[in-house]
A = this chain, B = another copy of it.
Amino acid sequence: MTDHPAPADHPIVKSLLRLIRAEAGGAWDGEPDDLLLSPFIVTKQAKRELPLIGDPDPDVLARVEKFYTAIGGEIEHRTGKAITPILNIHHEGWGRIVLITGRLVAVTAHVRELHRFGFQDLGQLIEKAEKLVADGVAAIEKYPDVVDA
């Protein structure tokens, strides 16, 4: 928000990389960041070629979860409030995601066509994440009594 670090140094991207490497239990520690982030990048052309038939791959849903977990982590970092992400995703690839703190829904997102989940590039990933983080932080600052209710 305030500064513009290189994409790979952005806290959201670093969070994502931590979550990806944590899941692999050390097996991916030596893999380059670009390679680990590459499944999050899906160009428009690639999206068109992904069929919406059938259920999205479980790996896609794991990426969606990591993206919103990283957003929750960044909101925690900026506000000091504990965030719980709740994903309610239908196996066909649509649903709702909320990030909750106390009695406040800090972030709410409706998602669909998750078969095609991904971003044009790392810049777009950061931009979308920043928007959700800013939204969550603003809500927490606006309703402190609901957060601590």
Instruction: Give the total of A residues in contact with B, Cβ under 8 Å.
Output: 19
> Is residue A98 contacting chain B, with contact meaning CB distance below 8 A?
yes
Residues of B contacting A98 in the complex (Cβ-Cβ under 8 angstroms): 86, 98, 100
Interface pair A105/B96, CB less than 8 Å apart: no
> Is residue A52 contacting chain B, with contact meaning CB distance below 8 A?
no
Interface pair B149/A103, CB less than 8 Å apart: no
Query: What CA separation (Å) do A143 and B139 show in the bound complex?
Result: 13
**Residues 84-126 of A at the B interface (beta carbon under 8 Å):** 84, 86-88, 96, 98, 100, 102-106, 108
* Whole-angstrom distance between the Cβ of A54 and the nearest chain B Cβ: 21
> Is residue A146 contacting chain B, with contact meaning CB distance below 8 A?
yes
* Whole-angstrom distance between the Cβ of A40 and the nearest chain B Cβ: 23
* Whole-angstrom distance between the Cβ of A134 and the nearest chain B Cβ: 15
Binding site for B on A (CB under 8 A): 84, 86-88, 96, 98, 100, 102-106, 108, 139, 142-143, 145-146, 149
